[in-house]
């Protein structure tokens, strides 16, 4: 008995020792009325090294995580600029512990026999090593449609793999190519089931034959593996990659500010910032890999999807250099975006908001060096979107970036409904995309 009690005590200490760095950090909801207030607030976030979970703008309450020793200054500033704030979550560490507990229970219940047969399960968030092995397995089990490619190594040397899915090994040059990527931002765990679901639907449990017959697919599930693993082992809210050497103690480049489109004009040069853009455009292997894939297939690529979380939004460029600068094919982007959103809304959870569709600078914030901007720049007239998947805003369980295990399957399922609409659109509207 004593042994059990000691074991139990040790287990509790272990869970409590995790997320210590977040003890007393509060998540604030912030409302602004003007873009000017939003800009002032973002300036404060950069000065105090706060963590933006969701950008404040007049349409959208922002969510900002604030350390205990910065709360007084933060609240004073919010008052001074005539914005308003509320405390959404007093001590975020409690939510991080709760997420661990929910995930642990989900892992215990996870059905291994099911995943053997159908591919990776959708009841837990899988780690890098599991996904990495899975991509190789899929290629071995389905050699006629799936091929695994090692695209290069991350900063810490992890092999970044993607699947090429095609019924004719990418030899039919008339077929459109679609590229989907998830986990460019490390902490956005809920994005992983979206790419895993695509693999399931296109290779393992194929119900829409036309999608694999008429299209060649590139699926890259873990675009930033170092950051992703670090968000599991150490710092749950890690966003960037794990590049060292630009500062004595601050680590990481924000990959989604590192692409070569107005690079460095609306991002941070400070290595301690969450939006540090790196020493030059494409300095990071994680962004070079996306670039190389798009360059290799861009004559045929019709759709690029970069899956992020959170906020229930489908976003298109340009994010830089100015708000409201629209790409030439804005009407098509908006129309297909809206069709995707409707398809998801039709099957979404009822307590989640409808998806919003629009220009990223208008719905979120101006930002330079983003991947979807660069893709739209080098593939003019094609479709390039960032998804922001739905967040939890449930006070009783987890919120924001934190994942409720019950939502994992739904995230994969509902997002695929949207992707499917865009996929069929590019097949049926070939003429629209001719150069």
Ligand X SMILES: *[C@@H]1O[C@H](CO)[C@@H](O)[C@H](O)[C@H]1NC(C)=O
By annotation, the residues acting in catalysis are 388
Smallest distance from ligand X to CB 213, Å: 17
Q: 37 or 359: whose CB is closer to ligand X?
A: 37
Report what 185 binds from Zn ion, ligand X, none; CB cut-off 5-8 Å by kind.
Zn ion
Report what 308 binds from ligand X, Zn ion, none; CB cut-off 5-8 Å by kind.
Zn ion
Q: 206 or 326: whose CB is closer to ligand X?
A: 206
Phi and psi angles of residue 195, each rounded to the nearest 5 degrees, phi first: -75, -35
User: What is the three-class DSSP state of 53?
Assistant: strand
Closest CA to 360 of 224, 222, 256: 256
Residues pairing with 29 in the sheet: 63, 86
Give contact residues for Zn ion (rule: CB under 5 A). 185, 308
* CA separation for the pair 46, 51 (Å, rounded): 9
Both tokens assigned to 382: 């094609």
Smallest distance from ligand X to CB 411, Å: 14
The residue count of the chain comes to 435
* CA separation for the pair 286, 357 (Å, rounded): 27
* CA separation for the pair 118, 211 (Å, rounded): 19
* CA separation for the pair 238, 259 (Å, rounded): 20
Q: 190 or 336: whose CB is closer to Zn ion?
A: 190
Report what 207 binds from Zn ion, ligand X, none; CB cut-off 5-8 Å by kind.
ligand X
Both tokens assigned to 169: 């090994």
Give contact residues for ligand X (rule: CB under 6 A). 81-82, 111, 113-114, 118, 169, 205, 207
Smallest distance from Zn ion to CB 364, Å: 10
How far is residue 288 from each of residues 154, 282, 313, 378, 410, measured CA to CA in Å? Answer: 10, 6, 26, 14, 31
Report what 7 binds from Zn ion, ligand X, none; CB cut-off 5-8 Å by kind.
none
Q: 47 or 269: whose CB is closer to ligand X?
A: 47
Closest CA to 313 of 264, 369, 272, 354: 354
Residues pairing with 429 in the sheet: none
First to last CA, the chain: 74
Report what 249 binds from Zn ion, ligand X, none; CB cut-off 5-8 Å by kind.
none
Smallest distance from Zn ion to CB 306, Å: 8
Residues 229/127, Cβ–Cβ less than 8 Å: yes
How far is residue 216 from each of residues 138, 232, 417, 435, measured CA to CA in Å? Answer: 16, 32, 18, 19
Report what 205 binds from ligand X, Zn ion, none; CB cut-off 5-8 Å by kind.
ligand X
Q: How many CB atoms lie within 10 A of CB 36?
A: 10
Residues 136/147, Cβ–Cβ less than 8 Å: no
Report what 174 binds from ligand X, Zn ion, none; CB cut-off 5-8 Å by kind.
none
Q: 170 or 262: whose CB is closer to ligand X?
A: 170
Smallest distance from ligand X to CB 81, Å: 4
* CA separation for the pair 73, 431 (Å, rounded): 56
Smallest distance from ligand X to CB 82, Å: 4
Smallest distance from ligand X to CB 141, Å: 14
Q: 158 or 185: whose CB is closer to Zn ion?
A: 185
Q: 168 or 331: whose CB is closer to ligand X?
A: 168
Smallest distance from Zn ion to CB 265, Å: 19
Q: 93 or 175: whose CB is closer to ligand X?
A: 175
* CA separation for the pair 174, 171 (Å, rounded): 9
Provide the pairing of β-strand 301-309 with 62-66. unpaired
* CA separation for the pair 359, 334 (Å, rounded): 8
Report what 19 binds from Zn ion, ligand X, none; CB cut-off 5-8 Å by kind.
none
């Amino acid at each position: 008995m004593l042994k059990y009690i000691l074991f139990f005590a040790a287990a509790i200490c272990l869970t409590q020792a995790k997320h210590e760095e977040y003890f007393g950090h509060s998540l604030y909801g912030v409302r602004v009325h003007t873009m000017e207030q939003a800009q002032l607030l973002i300036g404060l976030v950069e000065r105090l090294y706060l963590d933006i979970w969701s950008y404040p703008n007049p349409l959208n309450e922002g969510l900002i995580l604030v350390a205990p020793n910065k709360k007084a200054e933060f609240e004073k500033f919010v008052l001074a600029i005539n914005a308003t704030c509320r405390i959404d979550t007093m001590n975020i560490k409690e939510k991080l512990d709760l997420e661990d507990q929910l995930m642990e229970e989900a892992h215990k219940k996870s059905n291994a026999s099911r995943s053997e047969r159908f591919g990776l399960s959708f009841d837990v968030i899988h780690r890098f090593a599991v996904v990495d092995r899975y991509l190789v397995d899929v290629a071995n089990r389905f050699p006629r449609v799936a091929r695994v490619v090692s695209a290069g190594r991350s900063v810490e040397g992890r092999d970044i793999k993607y699947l090429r899915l095609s019924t004719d090994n990418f030899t039919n040059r008339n077929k459109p190519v679609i590229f989907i990527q998830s986990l460019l931002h490390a902490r956005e765990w809920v994005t992983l089931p979206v790419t895993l679901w695509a693999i399931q639907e296109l290779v393992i449990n194929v119900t829409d034959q036309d999608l694999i017959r008429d299209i060649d697919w590139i699926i890259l599930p873990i675009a930033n593996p170092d950051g992703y693993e670090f968000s599991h082992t150490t710092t749950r809210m890690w966003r960037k990659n794990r590049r060292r050497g630009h500062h004595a103690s601050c680590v990481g480049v924000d990959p989604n500010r590192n692409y070569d489109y107005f690079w460095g004009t609306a991002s941070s040069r400070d290595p301690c910032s969450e939006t540090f853009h790196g020493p030059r455009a494409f300095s990071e292997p994680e962004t070079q890999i996306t670039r190389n894939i798009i360059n290799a297939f861009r004559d045929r690529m019709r759709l690029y999807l970069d899956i992020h979380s959170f906020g229930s939004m489908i976003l298109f460029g340009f994010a830089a250099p100015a708000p409201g600068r629209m790409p030439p094919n804005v009407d098509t982007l908006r129309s297909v975006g809206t069709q995707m959103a409707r398809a998801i809304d039709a099957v979404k959870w009822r307590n989640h908001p409808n998806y919003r569709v629009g220009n990223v600078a208008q719905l979120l914030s101006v930002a330079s060096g983003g991947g979807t901007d660069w893709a739209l720049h080098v593939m003019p007239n094609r479709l390039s979107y960032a998804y922001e998947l739905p967040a939890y805003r449930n006070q009783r369980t987890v919120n924001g970036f934190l994942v409720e295990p019950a939502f994992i399957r739904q995230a994969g399922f509902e997002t695929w409904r949207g992707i499917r609409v865009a996929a069929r659109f590019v097949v049926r509207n070939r003429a629209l995309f001719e150069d």
